[in-house]
Amino acid sequence: MLKRVVQIGLLLIGGTLGVLFLPYLFTLSSFTSKPMIDNPYVAAVLGAFLLYLLSLFIADPIVNFIKWMEDRLLKAPIFDLLFGTIGLMVGLLVAFLASFGLSALEIPFITSIMPIVLSILLGYLGFQVGSKKREEFSHAIFAAKNGNPKKRDGGEGAQADSKHHKILDTSVIIDGRIADIASTGFLEGLLVVPQFVLTELQHIADSSDSLKRTKGRRGLDVLKRLQTDDGPSIFITDEDFADVAEVDLKLVRLAKSMNGQVVTNDFNLNKVADLHGVAVLNINDLANAVKPVVIPGEEMHVVVIKDGKEHNQGVAYLDDGTMIVIEDGRTHIGNAIDVVVTSVLQTSAGRMIFAKPKNGKTAKAH
C-alpha cells in the first residue's frame, strides 16, 4: 500500500515538473511540433510517464526510508520530539528573518539560494539543539514551575545541575530507605527516575508472585512518598536506549549522558558502574558507615543462633543485622555468651564480624 502511495506521489510530481520544465526542453528540440510545445497536457503526461519509469527503481528505497523514519520516530522519547520540533520552528523562524534581511541586498545568487540553505541548516541545528538539550529545558521549566524551593541547609534553591543528578534504580526504590535518607536533608540535588525503571516496577507490582507483587507496590509507595515529602525534587525522564536491553546498562548509559550518579544497593550494578567510570552512591555503604565501630579486642554479649559454614563455627547477629561468626561457637547454640572480636570484614555487601568466646565459657542468662 505504501509503495502504491509513493508511486502515485511520484506520478503527480512528474506531471507537475513536466508542465513546468518540459516546454523549455521542447523549444530546444527541432523535432518537436508547435502544438506539442503549447499543450500542457502532453507535457504533464510525458513528465508523469518519465517519473513513473524512474519510480520502478527508486520506489523501494523510498519506502524503506519512510519505514526507517517511522520506526525511529515511534521509538524516540516524546520529549525529544517535542523539544526537537520547537527547536526546528525556532531555527526556521531565524532563517526566515535572516532571508528577509538578505533580500534587501538584491544579489541574485544570495536572494534565491541562501534562503533555502539557511532554512535547511538552521532547521536542522534547531531540531538537534532542541532534542539534545531537552533535559536542561525540562529542568528549567520544572524549577520555574516549583518556584525554585529552598534547600534545607538554608542556601539558594537547588539548581538542576547535572552534577547533582541522583539516578535511582529499581532495587533502591523497593528497599525504601532512600525516602528516609531524602527526608533527613543529607541527599541534595535532583532525584531522577527513568521511565524504564517505572515500567519495571509496574511489571513487578503486576506479577503473579505475591512476594514480587508486594515489593513492586512498596516501590510505587516509596516514589509517592518521595514526591510528597520535603526533600529533593523528583524528575521522571523518558530518555531510553533502545539498543540496550538490560536495565542496569541503561542506568549506566543514562548516568553518563546526564553526568549524574547512580543510587543503588545492588552490589553487581555497583561493580558494573565502577567499570564504566560512573559514580555510585550505595545505600548499603551508607548504612555500614553509620553503624557503630567495632574494633578487634572489643568484648560483646551475643546469643548464638545457628551453626556456621565452617567446622565448629557459630553465628550470632547484632540488632542492626550484622553477622558475627564465632569460632568454636557451635557448642553454644541457643546460649548467650561473651565474645571477643578478632577481626572485622567490611564490604559493599555488608559487614561481618569474627569473634571467639571469652575464656571459652558461656555467660549467665540475663
Comparison of pLDDT for 340 and 347, the residue scoring more = 340
- Residues contacting residue 12 through CB under 8 Å, at least 6 positions apart: 48
Verify that 252 and 313 share a domain, yes or no: no
Q: Is there a single domain that holds both residue 298 and residue 279? A: no
> Are 210 and 341 in the same domain?
no
Tally the domains of the chain: 3
Residue 141, in any domain of the structure: no
Residue 274 included in any domain: yes
Q: Which of 72-81, 158-167, 238-247 has the lowest mean pLDDT?
A: 158-167
Higher model confidence: residue 52 or residue 190?
190
Q: What is the pLDDT of residues 153-175, one digit of tens each?
A: 333 443 444 457 889 999 999 98
What cell was used for 245? 536491553
Co-location of 175 and 283 in the same domain: yes
198 and 211 housed in the same domain: yes
Domain containing residue 19: 2-132
The H or E element that residue 266 is part of is none
Report residue 255 CA to chain centroid gap.
8
The CATH code of the domain that includes 282 is 3.40.50.1010
Are 198 and 95 contained in the same domain?
Answer: no
pLDDT digits (tens, 9 = 90+) for 258-273: 888 899 888 888 888 8
Q: Helices in 160-209 by DSSP H: which ranges?
A: 170-175, 177-184, 195-205
Most confidently predicted of 61-70, 99-108, 169-178: 169-178
| pLDDT at 132 exceeding the cut of 80 | no
Question: DSSP of 306-320, one letter per residue?
Answer: EE-SSTT-EEEE-TT
Is residue 63 domain-shared with residue 127, that is, in the same domain? yes
The residue type found at 246 is: E
Q: Considering 288, 307, 340, which residue would you say is the last residue of a domain?
A: 288
**CATH code of the domain covering residue 324:** 2.40.50.140
Q: Which residue is listed with cell 536542522?
A: 124
